Structures are given as structure tokens and as C-alpha cells.
Structure 1
């Protein structure tokens, strides 16, 4: 018995469809179209089928969408490791 996904009310399905059409990121487009289905009354499992993922991933997308809007559905590169040498020491060692 899954609960209905609660999407923010600032958008309607047409807004997501338009954002998906305008997006140049195919991953974001797929996610927007899957969430658009929920605005049209689809169950989480139907939205997952559209997105080609599991229901849990759709729920994660909903959380990201509610927190950050359509931009939250873009993949963001991880920041990576911090350098071992601090910047000021690195600059000093380069110029010496």
C-alpha cells in the first residue's frame, strides 16, 4: 500500500512537460516526464515504469524536485577529493 507522491503545487503537468521539452539534458527530461505522470494521477509504479526505474528512485526524484524544482533533477558532479596541499603552500612551492 504505497502512499501517493506529494509533489509541490507550484507546477502542473503541462509545466513539467514544457520543461522536459526545453531541457537539453536527457536524464532530466526522463525524470521530468516520469514526475509529470504523477501530476496526471498515475501511481508511483506507473511513473517508475515511464522513467525506467524503481518506485524508490521515483520517490527520491520527488524529494529532489520538491526541494529544488526542475533543476534538482539534473545530475551534479561530486566535488571530489580535497587537495592534500593547501592552496597557499602550493602557490609558494610553485614560485620558489
Structure 2
């Protein structure tokens, strides 16, 4: 299958990309839109004179959300494993 060639605009600059399918294209366009919205928010609310600063702030915001979600998932998985172990121990106790 041929890759699709698309262009996305982030912070006023056009970036040519190759994507595998329309689903990936949609994801890229939504991501670019989210970045541009966050850039606009930072420019509106903070005295930022350089696009590089706004891009760095946006990257940090998105990366921190990913890290927080990962930590929360790990914590949930540990809790689930602990509960399963507790139930297994309880079953073993009652079956003996």
C-alpha cells in the first residue's frame, strides 16, 4: 500500500509527512490542531516572544500528560494484581 503524502501546519510552518492510511492522517491532523490550539492559548495568556518557547511549553504539556497517564495506568495495574493475589490467597485458604 502506498503511503499518503500530507502537509500539516504547526506554528505557521508547513511540515510534509507520509502516513500509512486515512486513520493515521486523521490522527496527525488532530494532533497538529491540538498543538496549534495550545500555542494560541500560551501566546494569549503569557508574554512569549519566541515561537521556540511556545513550542517547548507545548511539548512539555503533551509529554507530561502522557507520563501522568502512564503512571496512573501502572498504579492501576499494580492494584489489580494485588487484588487478584489477595483473592487467590483467599481461595487457596478456603479450599484447603
TM-score strictly above 0.5: no
Give the alignment's TM-score, normalised by structure 2: 0.27
Q: Which has a greater percent of strand?
A: 2
Give the alignment's TM-score, normalised by structure 1: 0.27
Q: Which has a greater percent of helix?
A: 2
